[in-house]
């Protein structure tokens, strides 16, 4: 015996129960309905992802070529060399009694090695971008570092470090005035307490 409902037929056994091996009435329709609901949503998500990738590709600056990569590597090496000369003028000291220029010397050597690595991979690097207006922020950051290195041996690290942190937070990072001032002073105080007061590292300081 069969039962009819809106033109759909499903074999039933005695008493109106569904026969073995047959799907209950409406189960296939519910599955098809669920698939029909999920498929448009999935396609919509894929379309949105494609649109986002296209928008990012349109706004991304063009890739830098080997010449630009080599220029950047040269600038990094020059910056590291200048910092190296400045650290030597501060006094390196020895392994047991490090001088004021010990850590600047180590950082300078790392910068030089980084620049040489960039020079070696200048032709194979493809994810670098050409110089744009945002590149000026990087140059401004480098300029502040040069000023910091030039002043730390003369007037100590407190004032140059506070000014450096403030410029980076407020003008390069876009933070608020109050947060920039508080964070700058807090960093200098913490640095002083750890390295000067607690560890007695011979860093040029005023107080």
pLDDT surpasses 50 at 109: yes
The end-to-end CA distance of the chain, in Å, is 101
User: pLDDT class for 9, splitting at 50, 70, 90?
Assistant: very low
pLDDT surpasses 50 at 113: yes
Burial 139-177 (b: 16+ CB within 10 A, else e): eeeeebeeebbebbbeebbbebbbbbbbbbbbeeeebee
3-class secondary-structure state, position 10: strand
How many percent of the chain have pLDDT more than 90? Answer: 23
Digit-coded pLDDT (tens) for 120-167: 988 887 777 666 667 778 788 888 888 888 888 889 899 999 999 999
HEC profile of 94-141: CCCCECCCHHHHHHHHHHHHHHHHHHHCCCCCCCCECCCCCHHHHHHH
Q: Is 62 left (phi over 0), alpha (psi -120 to 50) or beta?
A: beta
Residue 118's nearest CA partner among 182, 73, 57 is 73
- Residue 101 burial (CB < 10 Å; 0-12/13-18/19+)? buried
User: pLDDT class for 201, splitting at 50, 70, 90?
Assistant: confident
Q: What's the pLDDT score for residue 179?
A: 94
Residues 68 and 134 sit within 8 Å (Cβ to Cβ): no
Arithmetic mean of pLDDT, 100-116 = 88
Digit-coded pLDDT (tens) for 20-45: 444 444 555 554 544 444 454 677 77
Lowest-pLDDT choice from 4-8, 71-75, 129-133 = 4-8
φ/ψ of 93, rounded to 5, equals: 80, -150
Say what angle helices 135-155 and 158-167 make with each other, to 10 degrees. 170
pTM of the full structure: 0.47
Question: Taking the CA atoms of the chain, what radius of gyration do you get in angstroms?
Answer: 33
């Amino acid at each position: 015996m069969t039962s009819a409902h809106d033109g759909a037929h499903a074999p039933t056994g005695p008493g109106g129960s569904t026969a073995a091996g047959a799907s209950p009435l409406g189960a296939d329709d519910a599955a098809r309905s669920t698939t029909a609901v999920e498929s448009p949503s999935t396609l919509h998500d894929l379309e949105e992802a494609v649109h986002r990738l296209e928008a990012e590709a349109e706004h991304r600056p063009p890739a830098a070529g080997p010449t630009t990569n080599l220029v950047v590597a040269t600038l990094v090496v020059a910056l590291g060399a200048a910092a190296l000369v400045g650290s030597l003028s501060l006094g390196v000291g020895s392994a047991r009694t490090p001088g004021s220029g010990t850590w600047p010397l180590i950082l300078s050597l790392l910068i030089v090695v980084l620049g040489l690595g960039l020079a070696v991979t200048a032709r194979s690097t493809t994810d670098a971008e050409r110089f744009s207006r945002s590149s000026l922020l990087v140059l401004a950051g480098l300029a502040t570092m040069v000023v910091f290195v030039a002043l730390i041996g003369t007037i100590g690290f407190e004032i140059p470090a506070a000014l450096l942190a403030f410029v980076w937070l407020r003008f390069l990072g876009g933070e608020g005035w109050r947060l920039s001032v508080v964070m700058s002073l807090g960093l200098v105080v913490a640095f002083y307490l750890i390295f000067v007061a607690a560890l007695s590292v011979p860093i040029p300081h005023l107080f």
